[in-house]
Chain A
């Protein structure tokens, strides 16, 4: 079953200790949710399941596996899945403190204020994003909602000791859709470098194909009908403290030293599962 499968995949990647603990907790919850899940087949991981506590923050991973739901409906400012200085020297602690601690936090706080006592209050974040995207004629809450989502997705796209090359199915698909990993790298790099002004560059999955997209300001591929798999934030605040105006250097550093290909692979699996189950 969708939910269980993803969670188990994640658990295997954890240490023995954690796995044992988490499995017990998760399974219990999962069983509880199971009957619900059968009724609501094809939806994202149920909320309660996603809020499990686990010493290694397993719920973070499992939550991000859901094809389109990476965040809870509670609009919480989730910390990145690593310490704020863990990405040094490639991304400084100071950057994380500002980027996560102030920018990301402000988006979440402002979103909460904005949806308070409106029909959007309490709705899942991706629901808000779709609604307020409004086919391009953005409603007020869009910017904060999408930026909250984008940033959470961004932190989870990186890890300490990241970079290198992807493997397995992800690599196979990259080679299929871009002819080689190097070609993909170039295209992703170019998209990130040429997104004028503020925005994001993405690897996304749609109709069984991988593609690179670049978006302005807060827009993300969810509203364009694709599953996001990877993102790089190219708003200036993402790289100014570490790289000033040298965006190409930032992009290279991101690709060579920060990208978490495991996260991307797991998202790809979830995206494929979600596509085929809704097909």
Chain B
């Protein structure tokens, strides 16, 4: 008598970060994945909630004046961001995506670049929440501590980093985002081809992305972002994007948040190294290989 050990969301194939694998050791995988998934949520997306609400920015809408006007926040957060969240909820209600965290929806719907319908809304919802938390009243200045050390290690100097970041943001044609990210220790990821394979692992990188794409899809850890869709700066700067970028870096960016995210990213990277988790390991966990079929009166709690 075969007892199928079930886990939810079993329609999806095995992917290291996300969901339970198919197969007889499904339950074990579920637990391992579950733990890591929660850890991931806390470590990386500790600032992003699952469940699709429109979170307000962590400051009043006029708190960023005069660098980013209240009117901009009213529209950008109150209309654009809100619309992405509402449309996403409409799109996924009653589907399998409905039970997942926002980050999971983003990763799944990216679908190796062949985006499913929910991607644009999901990614934009994620990106905007991340963006509001990347800035603060009285922001700007220079980073400190480990973050500064890594910036100097990977870009030569803070000024050099600034140049490159600003230049990337200014030259991102059309709609998109520019990111500072901590590159994970993977060459290929389940869902996408690494855009910077020549860069070493565990290093800070600058990436620019079009439209709604974000570095989560390459398994990078985003640390900072600037929205360069025109709606982000049009009311305050019209077409003067470079001026917007300068203001963003000099007066708005929240280096504390970036530092916190960096710590979390490094913890995550170390944890994964220690767990020895890799795609191969996932599918063949070492000594916990249970029987192919479970007898109905076996105590499945053994499997723990």
Q: Do A and B come from one complex?
A: yes
Spell out A's residues near B (CB within 8 Å). 98, 102-103, 106, 143, 196-199, 216-218, 235-237, 240-241, 244-245
Residues of B within 8 A of A106 (CB): 239
B174 touches A198 (CB 8 A): yes
Given A196-B212, A197-B211, A197-B229, are A236 and B234 neighbors across the interface (CB < 8 Å)? yes
**Docked-complex contact A197 and B174, CB < 8 angstroms:** yes
Chain B residue at minimum C-beta to C-beta distance from A102: B239
Can you list 23 contacts pairing A with B, beta carbon distance less than 8 Å?
A98-B238, A102-B238, A143-B173, A196-B211, A197-B174, A197-B229, A198-B230, A199-B174, A218-B173, A218-B174, A235-B174, A235-B230, A236-B175, A236-B229, A236-B230, A236-B231, A237-B230, A237-B234, A240-B234, A244-B75, A244-B79, A245-B80, A245-B83
- Residues of B with C-beta under 8 A to A245: 75, 79-80, 83, 231
Interface size in chain B (residues, C-beta < 8 A): 19
In the A-B complex, the 3 residue pairs with the closest CB atoms: A197-B175, A236-B230, A198-B174
A residues less than 8 Å from B234 (CB atoms): 236-237, 240-241
Q: Within the complex, which residue of A98, A102, A103, A217 is in contact with B174, where a contact is CB–CB below 8 Å?
A: A217
Interchain CA distance A216-B79 in the complex, whole Å: 23
Report the bound CA distance from A241 to B230 in whole Å.
11
A237 CB contacts on chain B under 8 angstroms: 230, 234, 239
Residues of chain B touching chain A, judged by Cβ–Cβ distance below 8 Å, are 75, 79-80, 83, 120, 173-176, 210-212, 229-231, 234-235, 238-239
Contact in complex: A217, B230 (CB < 8 Å): no
A106 CA to B120 CA, complexed, in Å: 29
Bound CA–CA A98/B235 (angstroms): 12
Which residues on the A side are within 8 Å of B210 (C-beta)?
A: 197
Q: Which residues of A contact B212 (CB under 8 A)?
A: 196-197
> Apart from A102-B239, A236-B231, what 17 extra A-B contacts exist at CB < 8 Å?
A102-B238, A103-B239, A106-B239, A143-B173, A196-B120, A197-B174, A197-B229, A199-B174, A218-B174, A236-B175, A236-B229, A236-B230, A237-B239, A240-B235, A241-B234, A245-B79, A245-B231
* A196-B211, A244-B79, A245-B75 known; A217+B173 contact, CB < 8 A: yes
Chain A residue contacts of B79, Cβ below 8 A:
244-245
Q: What's the Cα separation between A200 and B212 when bound, in Å? A: 18
CB-CB under 8 A from A196, the residues of chain B are 120, 211-212
Q: Which residues of B contact A98 (CB under 8 A)?
A: 238-239
Q: Which residue of B lies closest to A216 (CB)?
A: B174
Given the contacts A98-B238, A98-B239, A244-B79, A197 and B176 also touching, CB distance less than 8 Å: yes
Bound CA span A165–B156, Å = 61
Q: In the complex, what distance in Å separates the CA atom of A245 from the CA atom of B173? A: 20
Min CB–CB distance B153 → chain A (angstroms): 31
For A147, give the chain B residue with the smallest CB separation. Answer: B173
A240-B230, A245-B75, A245-B80 given; A198·B175 CB < 8 A: yes
Q: How far is the CB of A165 from chain B (nearest CB, A)?
A: 32
Q: How far is the CB of B244 from chain A (nearest CB, A)?
A: 13
Tell me the bound Cα distance from A196 to B229 in angstroms. 11
Q: Give every chain B residue within 8 A of A199 (Cβ-Cβ).
A: 174
Q: How far is the CB of A214 from chain B (nearest CB, A)?
A: 13
Cα distance, A199 to B176, chains bound together (Å): 13
The docked-state distance in angstroms from the alpha carbon of A244 to that of B212 is: 19
The CA of A143 and the CA of B235, in the complex, are separated in Å by 24
* Residue from the list A102, A217, A218, A240 in contact with B231, Cβ < 8 A: A240
Complex: chain A residue closest to B211, CB-CB: A197
Give CA–CA (A237, B244) in the complex, Å: 15
In whole Å, how far is A83's beta carbon from the nearest beta carbon of chain B?
A: 21
Q: Which residues from chain A contact B83 at a C-beta distance below 8 Å?
A: 245
The distance in angstroms between the C-alpha atoms of A98 and B174, with both chains bound, is: 17
B44 to chain A, nearest CB (A): 26
CA of A216 to CA of B230 in the docked complex: distance in angstroms?
Answer: 15
A13 to B212, CA, bound (A): 46
How far does the alpha carbon of A240 sit from the alpha carbon of B212 in the complex, in Å?
19
Of chain B, the residue at the smallest CB distance from A198 is B174
Q: Closest residue to B76 on the A side, CB-wise?
A: A245
- In the bound complex, what is the Cα–Cα distance between A104 and B155 (angstroms)? 35
Which chain B positions have C-beta within 8 A of A102?
Answer: 238-239
Distance of B128 from chain A, by nearest CB (Å):
13
Q: How far is the CB of A96 from chain B (nearest CB, A)?
A: 13
Q: Give the CA-CA distance A271 to B303 in the complex, in Å.
A: 72
Residue of A whose beta carbon sits closest to that of B124: A196
Smallest Cβ-Cβ distance to A98: which chain B residue: B238
Most A C-beta atoms less than 10 A away, residue of B75, B175, B231: B175
Provide the bound-state CA to CA distance between A192 and B87, in Å.
18
**Chain A neighbourhood of B239, CB < 8 A:** 98, 102-103, 106, 237
Which residue on chain A has the smallest CB distance to residue B240? Answer: A102
- How many Å from the CB of B203 to the closest CB on chain A? 28
